[in-house]
Amino acid sequence: MLQRIGYFARETWNSLIRNWAMTVAGILVIAVSLLFLGGMYLNRQRVNHYNVRWRGGVGAEIFMRVDASQNEIGDVRAALDKDRTAEGLVKNYVFLDHAAALAEFQRIFRDDPETVRSVTDASALPESFRLKLRDAKLVDAVDSRYKIMPGVDEVVSPKKEIHQKLDQAAKTGIALVVVSIVLALAAVVLIVNTIRLAIFARRREIEVMKLVGASNWFVRVPFMAEGLVQGLLGGLLAAGGVYAIKWGYEQWFYERGYYITSGDAILAAIAVVFLGGILGAAASAVGLWRRLDV
Amino acid sequence: MIRFENVTKIYKGDVVALRDVSLDVQKGEFVFLVGPSGSGKSTFLKLLLREEVATSGKIIVAGRDVSRLGAWKVPLLRRNIGCIFQDFKLFPNKTVYENVAFAPEVIGRPRNVIRTQVPQILDLVGLNHKADAFPGQLSGGEQQRVSIARAFVNRPLILLADEPTGNLDPATTAGIMKLLDRINRTGTTVVMATHDEGIVDAMRRRVVELDHGSLVRDQARGVYGVGT
């Protein structure tokens, strides 16, 4: 058994090396295709995490400055209470103190222990009021009334922002998926071609193998492995790319409230490697179709 | 060992390669298959190997009904049949030893078995001293010996030879025929397709003649030409 695995590994490796230009092309196209897919997923998750904030009909969130005093917070609370009348702006509100903010932070990043550990001091997170508005149209009024109060950092409302972001994410998502499918097809065609070339290069050996009675699987496995290896290598590259996207986003494009968690990255990375394997195997199957029959 | 029952093979485009051929070859026989080009010799051999499937009739090889064999069982059939060819089909980038060891390797024989069998078979064909040479460094006769070693190393029940001496001079041919005779004496059935009258006449073995796809002669101790 070990002897066979050694044989298959050697044959596959030789074949990949002998035709290295095609091999590299196949791997790269698969990698780029899967990277688009992974990037789309990360972008969607980024927006989804932001959405968590606005679940349960929350209409606006007033962020206090991290260093806001108890008095300033009290003043905002008093103003909100005054606004909670029949003709006021606010239907209801919840106050998230440092501890609650930390708890939510830990919940969002629950699969990201490193990030969770990096924030031990709850007071580093701003306190906030989450408001349910009497009418969604009152967002602007809330914004102008509370933004100017002392100790308030900013008023964030989901309406314009969320819809814009969701829309944007959906549109780029569709575009990325289309590009990714086209590239995946190109990758499959490339790998099919690579395998046919490999079969052609080894046709004399294959002929003799068949004559002396090598089993059909024995003849096929190295070629199947060839496609699979290309797919998996492409997937691994794409997985690296997924982490690069996460890192780059955090370095250069970070927007408040939009997170990519490690959990998202791990899932995306596993998915692209898996998909790479499937693409490679499928390409092998097409490449071998009716080629190595008895 | 080999049995053809009313076998007909028609290729696409109504080319009749074999017409109603019936034949019985016993274990350990040595059979010459003669006839002009296009008489159906190659088709006969291809049907034995199940590279082609008969249009009608029944073919039994080593106890198996070839036409009913599933695709995954064809390799098992072929392990009972060794093949040699006019053009040797050796790998130029492998040594003599590696060329011969290729056959047991690809049917999954254990390495220690290969290590004892290959030198034995090289001894039989008289090429042990050239085990590390490459085919390009050998004469035609030596190359054919290597190809015989490769065909015989898995101890097949049947050895098919398709014009094995077609590229060789008479002296070398005699050596190859001696070797095939020796293999035949180990109980291996040998079927040899040939144009070489000299060999057939000299060996005085069973001769089966095909002409335009039909079996026109089956003589126990025959010669190449009819009635001579």
A66: left (phi over 0), alpha (psi -120 to 50) or beta: alpha
Could you tell me the end-to-end alpha-carbon distance of chain A, in angstroms, rounded to an integer? Answer: 24
Residue B152, pLDDT > 90, answer yes
> From its phi and psi, is residue B187 left (phi > 0), alpha (psi between -120 and 50) or beta?
left
pLDDT-based confidence at A6, cuts 50/70/90?
confident
Q: Which two tokens stand for residue A11?
A: 């044959």
A7 neighbourhood in chain B, CB within 8 Å: 105
Residues in chain A within 8 Å Cβ distance of B82: 212
Nearest to B89 among A3, A208, A213 (CB): A208
Chain A residues with beta carbon closer than 8 angstroms to that of B107? 212-215, 218
User: Of chain A residues 192-251, which have a CB less than 8 A from chain B?
Assistant: 204-205, 207-216, 218-219
Which of the listed ranges A49-53, A117-121, B65-69, B149-153 does the model predict with the highest average pLDDT?
B149-153
Amino acid symbol at B115? R
Residue B228 pLDDT level (bands cut at 50, 70, 90): very low
Provide the pLDDT for residue B223: 79
Q: Give Cα separations from A54 to A66, A96, A171 (angstroms).
A: 21, 14, 21
> Does B53 reach chain A within 8 Å, measured CB to CB?
no
Task: Tell me what pLDDT residue A227 has.
Answer: 92
Q: What integer pLDDT is reported at residue A57 of this predicted model? A: 67
In DSSP notation, B77-93 reads: HHTTEEEEETT----TT
Contacts of A50 (CB under 8 A, 6+ apart): A162, A165, A257, A258, A259
The C-alpha of B217 sits at a distance from chain A's nearest C-alpha, in angstroms, of 29
Contact A210/B75, CB-based, under 8 Å?
Answer: yes
Chain A residues touching residue B154 (CB < 8 angstroms): 212-213
B226 alpha-carbon distance from chain centroid: 24
Tens of pLDDT along A260-284? 888 889 999 999 999 999 999 999 9
CA pair distance B75, A274, nearest whole angstrom: 34
Q: Amino acid identity of A226?
A: E
User: pLDDT tens digits for A283-292?
Assistant: 999 988 877 7
pLDDT score recorded for residue B22: 94
Higher pLDDT, A21 or A117: A21
All residues of chain B having their beta carbon less than 8 Å from the beta carbon of residue A294 are 50-51, 71, 74
The percent of residues above 90 in pLDDT, for chain A, comes to 25
pTM reported for the whole predicted model: 0.72
How distant is the Cα of B72 from the closest Cα of chain A, in angstroms? 7
Confidence check: pLDDT of A171 > 80: yes
pLDDT value, residue B226: 63
Flag the least confident range among A66-75, A86-95, B3-12, B50-59. A86-95
Does residue B78 sit at the A interface (CB-CB below 8 Å)? yes
DSSP letter at A249 equals I
Quick check: B46 pLDDT over 80? yes
Which residues of chain B have a CB within 8 Å of the CB of A203? none
In angstroms and rounded to an integer, the radius of gyration of the C-alpha atoms of chain B is 18
Contact B103 A212 (CB under 8 A): yes
Question: Percent of chain B scored above 70 by pLDDT?
Answer: 99
Nearest to B89 among A207, A215, A294 (CB): A207
Helices in chain A by DSSP H: which ranges? Answer: 2-18, 20-51, 70-83, 98-108, 113-118, 139-147, 158-201, 203-211, 216-248, 262-288
**Pick from A212, A216, A294: CB nearest B154:** A212
Instruction: Flag the least confident range among A154-168, B65-79, B94-108.
Output: A154-168
Cα–Cα distance between A60 and A119 in angstroms, integer?
25
Mean pLDDT of B147-156: 95
The per-residue pLDDT for range A202-242, each reduced to its tens digit, is 888 899 999 999 988 888 888 999 999 999 999 999 999 99
Per-residue pLDDT tens digits for B5-29: 999 999 988 889 999 999 999 999 9
| Order of strands across the sheet that contains B64-65 | B15-25, B2-11, B56-61, B64-65
B82 touches chain A (CB under 8 A): yes
Angstrom CA distances, A123 to A60, A64, A151, A226, stand at 22, 12, 15, 55
The predicted pLDDT at position B224 comes to 79
Q: Please report the pLDDT score of residue A52 as a whole number.
A: 66
Q: Is B141 on the interface with A (CB under 8 A)?
A: no
Q: What is the mean pLDDT of residues A87-91?
A: 80
Residues 6+ apart with CB under 8 A from A18: A198, A201
pLDDT at A86: 67
Residue A94 is predicted with a pLDDT of: 86
Q: What is the pLDDT of residue B195?
A: 86
Instruction: Give the angle B108-B113-B116 at the CA atoms, nearest 5°.
Output: 140
Cross-chain residue pair B78–A213, CB shorter than 8 Å: yes
- B151 in contact with A at a CB cutoff of 8 Å? yes
CB spacing of B79 vs A212 below 8 angstroms: yes
Three-state DSSP at B75 gives: helix
Amino acid at B67: S
Selected for mutation to probe chain B from A208, A209, A210, A291 (highest B CB count within 10 Å) is: A208
Size of interface A-B (CB pairs under 8 A): 62
Distance in angstroms (rounded) separating the CA atoms of residues B97 and B119: 8
pLDDT of B178 over the 80 cut: yes
Mutation target vs A (from B100, B106, B117, B152; most A CBs, 10 A cutoff) = B106
Give yes or no for residue A256 having a pLDDT over 80.
no
Contact of B112 with chain A, judged by CB distance below 8 Å, is answered with no
